[in-house]
Chain A
C-alpha cells in the first residue's frame, strides 16, 4: 500500500509520533540528569564560599569541606535586623541573592542578606555574598570578614559573561587577593573601598582595578560597597 506522504493525515500522524518520541526521550534525560545538575550548582556555590575563606576545594570534596568549615548561617534584612522563622527557600544557603537583585518587583528594602559563619584556625570569619553588575551581565561573589567585623580577609568573585582577559579577570586570585586587609569601617563608621585605575591601590581604602576592565572593576567596587554597608549595619549593632 502506498501511503500518501503529502496528505494531511500522514503529516499529522508523523508530527504526533515525532513529538511523543522527542518528548519521552528529552523528559527522561532531563529527569535522569536533574540530581546531578542540582548537585553541581550547589557544590559550585559551596566552593565559592570556601574560596572566599581561602580554602581550596574541588568539585569532589567541596561539600565535605563546606560542612567542616561553615558552622552556622542566618539571614538579615536590609536594615540589618536578624530574620527568624523563614521558609525553607529563604534559608541562607537556598536564598537566591542574584534573583533578588534582578527582580524589579522586589523593593530594595525587602531584600534579604544571608551570612555564613565559618570557623578557620580557631577564628570566626563571616562570609557574605555580594551581587552587582559588570559590563555585560551580572557579577557576584563572596566577601570574608574577620571577627573584628571590619577587616576583609578574603574574596571570591565570579561573573556571567565579562570579556575574557579583561573584565573576566576579576575572578582570578591576583585580583581577589587585592582586597585582603582592606577595612570596611573606621571607628564604627562605614567606609567605602575604592577600586582605582591609576595604580595607587596600595594606599588605604583603595584597591587596584583591572587594566582594560574599568567598567567591570567599577562594578565590583559598587557591588562590594553597597552590600557591605548593609552588613555593617548589622555588625555594628551586634558587636
Chain B
C-alpha cells in the first residue's frame, strides 16, 4: 500500500518546512483564491453584508475544506478516475450536510441567517478546485496545510468585505453600533452631527465593487500580478 509507505517517509521532512509554509502563506496574498484565482466568489459575496454571517460562513468553509482535502488525499489512490468528480462532490456534499445539520442543531440563529448559502458551499469552486489540483496528487499533511491556507485566504477577504460593508452601510461591527445611535428622534454620536449611513453599501452589487477595489489595491502594490488586457 502506497499510503503506508508515505506515512513512514513523512517524518523525514520537517513538519513546517519552507515548502509547507508556502502552502499556507501563498494563498493569503499572492495566490489568493478570491482575488487572484477568482474562485469561490459564488456563495461568498451574498453573505458579506454583516461580519457575523461572513465569519460563520468562513468557519464552515474552513471545516469543509480541511476535512474534504484530508479525505480526498487519503482516498486518492482508491478513487476510480472515471467517477472522480462525482466522488468528490459526494464528499463535499456530505461534509456540508454535517455542517448544516450541526448549525441547525447548535447555533440555530446563525443557520437561519445563512439559509441556502450553506448548501452552496458544495459548489464553491475553491473546494473542488483544491481537491482536483492538490489533494488528488498530494499526501494528507500537505493537503491539510493547503486547505487551511486557501480557506483562510478566502476567509479574510470575506470578512474584510463584510467589515467595509457593515461599517459604511449600517454603522455597526458585529451588530454593535460604532458611530452612535441612529434611531429617528434619538440620534447620538456621529449621527447627531448629521452623518448618514450609506445604504448603497448594503445592496448586493456593492460587494462586487468592494472586491474590485481590493483587487485594485493588491495589484497596485504587486506589479507582477497585473494582467495584460
Are A and B bound to each other? yes
Give min CB distance, B195 to chain A, whole Å: 14
Contact among B50, B80, B83, B94 with A22 in the assembled complex (CB-CB below 8 Å): B94
CB-defined interface of A144-168 with B at 8 Å, one 1/0 digit per residue?
Answer: 0000000000000000110111100
Q: Is B152 an interface residue (CB 8 A)?
A: no
Q: How far is the CA of A71 from the CA of B187 in the complex (A)?
A: 40
Task: Report chain B residues within 8 Å CB of A18.
Answer: 87, 90
Contact among B78, B108, B115 with A14 in the assembled complex (CB-CB below 8 Å): B78
Give min CB distance, A196 to chain B, whole Å: 13
Give min CB distance, A167 to chain B, whole Å: 10
Task: Report chain A residues within 8 Å CB of B50.
Answer: 164
Contact among A22, A33, A164, A166 with B101 in the assembled complex (CB-CB below 8 Å): A33
Task: Report chain A residues within 8 Å CB of B208.
Answer: none
A29 lies within 8 A of B101 (CB): yes
Q: Is the interface of A mostly helix, strand, loop or mixed?
A: helix
Q: Is A11 an interface residue (CB 8 A)?
A: yes
Contact among A33, A59, A161 with B105 in the assembled complex (CB-CB below 8 Å): A33
CB-defined interface of B162-189 with A at 8 Å, one 1/0 digit per residue?
Answer: 0000000110000000000001100000
CB-defined interface of A4-37 with B at 8 Å, one 1/0 digit per residue?
Answer: 0110001100110011001001100110010011
Q: Which residues of B contact A (CB under 8 A)?
A: 49-50, 78-83, 87, 90, 94, 97-98, 101-102, 104-106, 108, 115, 169-170, 183-184, 197, 199, 202-203
- Can you sample 7 A-B contacts with CB below 8 Å? A14-B79, A14-B87, A18-B90, A26-B94, A37-B105, A164-B202, A208-B184
